[in-house]
Structure 1
Amino acid sequence: MIFLLAGTSDARALAVTLQKTGRHVTASVVTENAAAELESARIKSRTGRLTADEMAAMLETGYTAVIDASHPFAEEASKNAIEAANKAGLPYIRYERAGTDIDEHPLVTRVDTYEQAADAAAEKGGVVMLTTGSKTLQVFTEKLLPREDIRLIARMLPRLDNMEKCAALGVAQKNIVAMQGPFTKDLDLALYRHYKVTTTVMKESGAIGAVAEKIEAAVSLGIETIVISRPPVEYPNQCETFEEVIDTLTRLEEK
């Protein structure tokens, strides 16, 4: 039985692929909406974050391996999964969606942290659109909202808790774009034009996260683009394709 951390849009497809090999999968997700999507694909799921100890205890109830398909920026979840797998004596496999080849461009600035991204956005000023989600929103609101020369636009998932967080942090309703991606390049262009964006901030989530399209759209309009690099995590057994995951899982199961 496989314990799958399902934190990306492609994780459900991976779960389906694994079940087609005859393995039973339980997908761990954070939201009820994600759980419903998995259930519709006949994938058993559980909802809610787990500490390393909680996950280790769960793994000892009959699981044989951990596959981590969490978001590239969910480093805490990955570290907990690695620790839990070690405690339970189970193999751990990381499915890390492929990154995006971003050519050097004078309008594209790479940074390593959210704090650096907020500083860079503050330096550039103007209309700043965030596509970095709600978890780190406060990092940006603290530095950008007090500035009269900056209008902060927050694009995030249309969830009640996200809207409540925006309200609590002082993001005006007119400056919230509540939509679920991934988005096409044409839609990105339309949003950039509608809000007259001059700077955009995004995470390097990979090709499936449509990062390349967002960058191409922004650069084509002359928009300053700040890209936050993926956090450095030492993943055991890292794979970039479903085939690699299955091959690695089969090899580890045979040990």
Structure 2
Amino acid sequence: MKPGVLILGGTGEARALAAALVHRPDVRVVSSLAGRVSDPRLPEGEVRVGGFGGPGRLASWLRDQGIHAVVDATHPFAERITASAVRATAEAEIPLLILRRSGWRQEAGDDWHWVSSLEDAARSLPALGRRVFLTTGRQGLPAFTGLDDLWFLIRTVDPPEPPLPRHCHLLLDRGPYTLEGELSLMRAHRVDTLVTKDSGGTMTRAKLAAARQLGLPVVVVRRPPLPEAPTAVTVHEALVWLNDVRINPGNRME
């Protein structure tokens, strides 16, 4: 059996890494998706969908499948998956790399308000506006349900589970988005405040430029801290790391 690389994916970086590795004759590449999106963009190569059942079962799976390195290329806010990967790879004595794209950077003209959680974001909104463009994903929406004096435009990929804010309009859509499209959307709904997580990347960055052009305040939820583990911010850095750990049978982390 060829030595395996497990990519914990769902992001563009995960798909790009799989594409860079899948044609190598000396490596088996397996991409794992959490299964939370109904119609995900699938990477090249072997794909498994669904959870592993906890760190212990993931560690057993890694050993049984001959995995010699794991790259956690999940969303920057996928704390639970990352924590599970750290524990599982330590138990299985397999090297782990956390691949996280850089966060967004504030530019001249931006009016950003940094917060540490969705709950903090919700608490900040009454002082900022009345018509909120909420782009934090379908999980965590209950944090905003008590704000009955505000109206929300909620954009998610898949339909969220209730409860939702009392006054809202739900928009199901998937990026990438354009500046022109975001400007048109915000103007049509008379949005006066934007809420986002610091996800980074280019897929949804246009909303920040649109808010800047319209002079709107933006509430930005900070990323959770990363655990102690090797990290990379680009696919190229991840490929260099994989070469450095020498993905060969019998060459597990000591």
TM-score (norm 2): 0.87
Distance 2:23 2:167 in 1: 44
SS at match of 1:177: strand
Distance 1:242 1:10 in 2: 6
**Residue in structure 2 matched with residue 45 of structure 1 by the alignment:** 47
**Residue in structure 1 matched with residue 226 of structure 2 by the alignment:** 233
**Residue in structure 1 matched with residue 246 of structure 2 by the alignment:** 253
**Residue in structure 1 matched with residue 155 of structure 2 by the alignment:** 155
1:217 aligned to 2:210?
yes
What are the residue-to-residue correspondences of 1:157-172 with 2, within 5 Å? 157=157, 159=158, 162-163=159-160, 165=161, 168-171=162-165
**Residue in structure 2 matched with residue 123 of structure 1 by the alignment:** 127
SS at match of 1:253: coil
**Residue in structure 1 matched with residue 198 of structure 2 by the alignment:** 204
Aligned partner letter, 1:178: L
Q: What is the aligned counterpart of 1:82 among 76, 83, 86?
A: 86
SS at match of 1:247: helix
**Residue in structure 1 matched with residue 13 of structure 2 by the alignment:** 10
Contact 1:117/1:201 (8 A) holds in 2:
yes
Distance 1:106 1:245 in 2: 32
**Residue in structure 1 matched with residue 116 of structure 2 by the alignment:** 112
Aligned partner letter, 1:69: A
> Which segment drifts farther, 106-115 or 217-226?
106-115
1:195-224: CA deviation from partner (whole Å, max 9, x where unpaired): 10011100111123433x221211211212
Q: What is the aligned counterpart of 2:176 among 178, 182, 202?
A: 182
Contact 1:28/1:46 (8 A) holds in 2:
yes
* % identical equivalent positions: 29
- Cα shift at 1:194: 1.1
Q: What is the aligned counterpart of 1:92 among 96, 115, 122?
A: 96
Q: Which has more helix, going by share of residues?
A: 1
**Count of residue pairs brought into register by the alignment:** 240
1:33 aligned to 2:39?
yes
- Cα shift at 1:104: 6.1
- Cα shift at 1:20: 3.2
Contact 1:94/1:235 (8 A) holds in 2:
no
Distance 1:55 1:94 in 2: 16
Contact 2:211/2:218 (8 A) holds in 1:
yes
Contact 1:97/1:208 (8 A) holds in 2:
no
1:54 aligned to 2:57?
yes
**Residue in structure 1 matched with residue 139 of structure 2 by the alignment:** 135
Distance 2:113 2:50 in 1: 35
TM-score (norm 1): 0.87
Return 5+ residue gaps in structure 1 as ranges: none
1:246–1:10: structure 2 CA closer, same or farther, 3 Å change rule? closer
Distance 2:197 2:104 in 1: 11
Aligned partner letter, 1:126: R
- Cα shift at 1:170: 4.0
- Cα shift at 1:120: 1.0
Contact 2:193/2:217 (8 A) holds in 1:
yes
**Residue in structure 2 matched with residue 73 of structure 1 by the alignment:** 77
- Cα shift at 1:172: 7.0
Contact 2:141/2:164 (8 A) holds in 1:
no
Return 5+ residue gaps in structure 2 as ranges: none
